[in-house]
């Protein structure tokens, strides 16, 4: 195993999972599924790096590929979250009268 100092941080699977955990915790503080998509994207990239193999090896070799996959996973997660937990038809509240009118 090579020394940790020679490896870039974006090639380490545990860094991506730590970022995912941090974003998940921040999501609790700022609800609205804003950071949860990024957390899921980071967790998926960390999982691919942890698995290694051809995909993990490709990710570890190129920062650009890693960031593109992170962006795609995050976008896909955000779209899926929006579809499953976002505003649905009929959820908008229409007020017929003002509470100050009597």
pLDDT in tens, the chain (102 residues): 454 555 688 788 899 999 999 999 999 998 777 899 999 999 999 998 888 866 666 666 788 888 999 999 999 999 998 888 766 666 666 667 777 776
Domain count, the chain: 1
Q: What is the pLDDT of residue 19?
A: 95
Residue 71 lies in a domain: yes
Residue 92 lies in a domain: no
Residue 95 lies in a domain: no
Q: What is the DSSP letter of 4?
A: G
Which residues constitute the domain of residue 75? 9-85
Residue 94 lies in a domain: no
Residue 58 lies in a domain: yes
Cβ contacts of 96 within 8 Å, gap of 6 or more: none
Residue 96 lies in a domain: no
The CA-atom distances, in angstroms, between 1 and each of 12, 17, 42 are: 13, 20, 24
Q: What is the pLDDT of residue 15?
A: 92
pTM of the model: 0.74
């Amino acid at each position: 195993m090579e020394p940790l100092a020679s490896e870039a941080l974006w090639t380490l699977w545990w860094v991506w999972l730590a970022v995912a955990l941090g974003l998940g915790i921040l999501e609790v503080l700022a609800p609205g599924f804003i950071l949860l998509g990024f957390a899921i994207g980071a967790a998926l990239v960390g999982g691919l790096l942890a698995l290694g193999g051809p995909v993990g090896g490709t990710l570890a070799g190129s920062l650009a590929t890693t960031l593109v996959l992170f962006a795609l996973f995050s976008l896909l997660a955000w779209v899926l979250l929006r579809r499953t937990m976002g505003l649905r038809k009929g959820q908008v509240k229409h007020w017929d009268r003002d509470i100050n009118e009597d």
